[in-house]
Amino acid sequence: MPGVSTSLRVSKDGQYIMATGIYKPRIKCFDVNNLSLKFERCLDSEVVTFEILSDDYTKIVFLQCDRYVEFHVGHGRHYRLRVPRFGRDIAYHKPSCDLFVVGASSEVYRLNLELGQFLAPFVSKASEISCCGVNDEHGLLICGTDSGHVEAWDPRTKIRQGILDCALHCTDSEYKNESVPGITALKFDGPLRMGVGTSTGHVLLYDIRSSKPLLVKDHMNEIPIKKIEFHKHLDYVYSMDSTIVKIWNKNTGKQYTSIESSVDFNDLCVVPNTGLSMMAVEDQKMQIYYIPSLGPAPKWCAFLDNLTEEMESSASQTVYDDYKFVTKQELESLGLDHLLGTNLLRAYMHGYFVDVRLYKRAKSIADPFAFEEYKKQKIREKIQQERPSRLKVDDNLPKVNRELASRLLDTDSRKKKVSSNLLKDDRFKALFENPDFEVDKQAEEYRLLNPVLSRLDKPKDKQVREVESMQIDDQEEKDSDVDLYQSSDESSDEDRSWVKEVKKQHRIIRNQQQDNNEGDSDNNNKESIYEFSKAPKISSNIKSITRVSKASLGDRLAKEGFSTVVTGTGGNREMKFSMRGKKSEFDKQKKMKKHYMERKQIVRKTGFLTKKKFKKS
């Protein structure tokens, strides 16, 4: 690919390999019989995923990042249409000719390819659906949601058959995040078995007749699982995240081997009935690996068997398989610091590798009730959903920054809009959900830089505000900047209300700082009193004054314990200084009168000048 490869598929007849990539967005089809490129087509937008509907390359459907679903045939693009929400995955149900599209919505869109129209969608309980899959044996549709559930639908009856809570089983005592792990990958293994990948790096193997997993495999890197594949003849599972592809036994969970790369993995494709696997990566060239012990080479590259027979090597176990990396602080919190220097800990970079079984056992001993608390919290949330309060007020406002959200809704209602796009935009979702983004109205930056908002947040009682302003005006000492603003008649900023609000906030903050400084000065800065008999000598004072005058300003301030740099709450740096006291009005008038008298004496009188009349010649 010119830049990056994103997806890989092999046709059902095994004769064609198709890959998508960027940039520009394109698809390439390779003919394995001739070991050559069959065709290459450029697309309008990037491909999220695609499916091959026919046995060969003649029918392909693409899900693109701009909400378009595009259909291609042998000669090129056949038709394209748009879905209501952004899609994340597609699945094709062959008996009913239904194409299922899931994405950033609670609905599973159904597009019937025989009728050429949309059918009534399946409505899920989750807010978003990340992946889906169809069983080739009995046609059951499964959907993985961001809330950690797997929902099963029967396309024949259009009814939900069951909900599987996978987040409850992949959340153990070592679970650290507060958010619920989402489902990121799904794959069927025959009619009854199913593999589920989560956003926390867990792979769960289920029998669809039971709600408990048969096996839980942890990648131990807390990276979402991107792809799951099953070996057709051997009991091995391929699980891939962005950094590693692990091959392990589905009965015991013991790792067989792993594949790592210097670039991130995007997709995995295993050629059926062979030991050949292909990966789409964040690089121009796609990666291909052949493992002879997992199966023979395909017919179109049978020469690989002869090469591998000559390159036989002894099997060596990976050193850090089934090991967990922990830092020294985590080791102390688990109470395993006494194992330093033993064979149970293997030093690596800034931490240690420890066996997963020992780590889980120590974690359960250090915090034995973590899983029970999580389980109770899930039960409590489920009860609250099923039994809401009778006095519940549906105000559609978030828990965080409620006043900001209500103000946005008010402005939209004035402009006769339906609703605020800012509240529904995923980019600003954390602003109304994460408590760290709560607006602090008492911060100096908020009160000075947002005077209009701070004025709107104040109580509506005008009398209280007038009393507060009168008290502040009586206590403050006017400085030259305030007089400059008050005496300027030509300034147009005086007419603006926000200018007055900025001045008022400055006065309030200055008074608060003065009160704090006075409280500190009463405790620390006490005046020294001398008796006449023990008065300091004049000569020593003169020497100290001359010594101080030679020192720099920074040294003198450091010696006096005075700092001119203040760090604000927002991380900014400010200079703190004090203005000289303003001269009284009497002194000012006296100075102006003196200046007027001096100017009167200097200016030359012009009363003796008279107008002269000139006659015409």
Q: What is the predicted pLDDT for the residue at 416?
A: 55
Distance CA 576, CA 565 (A): 6
Flag the least confident range among 333-342, 376-385, 547-556.
Answer: 547-556
Place 194 in a pLDDT band, splitting at 50, 70 and 90.
very high
Q: What is the predicted pLDDT for the residue at 585?
A: 73
Mean pLDDT of the chain: 77
Kindly list the domain boundaries of the chain, sorted by start residue: 4-304, 320-387
Flag the least confident range among 295-299, 323-327, 453-457.
Answer: 453-457
Q: What is the mean pLDDT of residues 569-576?
A: 52
Flag the least confident range among 121-130, 166-175, 363-372.
Answer: 166-175
Flag the least confident range among 59-63, 213-217, 478-482.
Answer: 478-482
Q: What is the mean pLDDT of residues 172-191?
A: 73
Single pTM value for the model:
0.54
Distance CA 427, CA 454 (A): 25
Q: Convert the pLDDT of each residue in 410-467 to its tens digit.
A: 766 665 554 456 777 777 777 888 877 887 777 777 766 666 555 555 544 444 455 4
Percent of the chain with pLDDT over 70: 71
Closest to 54 measured CA to CA, from 36, 78, 37: 78
Place 573 in a pLDDT band, splitting at 50, 70 and 90.
low
If one compares 329 and 131, the residue with the highest pLDDT of the two is 131
Closest to 184 measured CA to CA, from 211, 224, 233: 224
Q: What is the mean pLDDT of residues 175-199?
A: 82
Percent of the chain with pLDDT over 90: 22
Q: What is the mean pLDDT of residues 326-337?
A: 82
pLDDT reading at 536 higher than 50: no
Contact 132, 102 (CB under 8 A): yes
Q: What is the predicted pLDDT for the residue at 554?
A: 67
Look at domain 4-304 and name its CATH class: mainly beta
Q: What is the predicted pLDDT for the residue at 577?
A: 55
Burial of 583 (0-12, 13-18, 19+ CB in 10 A): exposed
- Which residues, 6 or more positions from 280, have their beta carbon under 8 angstroms from its beta carbon? 5, 6, 7, 8, 19, 21, 265, 266, 267, 268, 269, 286
Q: Convert the pLDDT of each residue in 473-497 to its tens digit.
A: 544 444 444 444 444 444 454 445 6
Q: What is the predicted pLDDT for the residue at 165?
A: 87
If one compares 548 and 309, the residue with the highest pLDDT of the two is 309
What residue has token string 């012990």?
293
Q: Convert the pLDDT of each residue in 375-413 to its tens digit.
A: 787 788 778 777 765 555 556 677 787 777 877 777 666
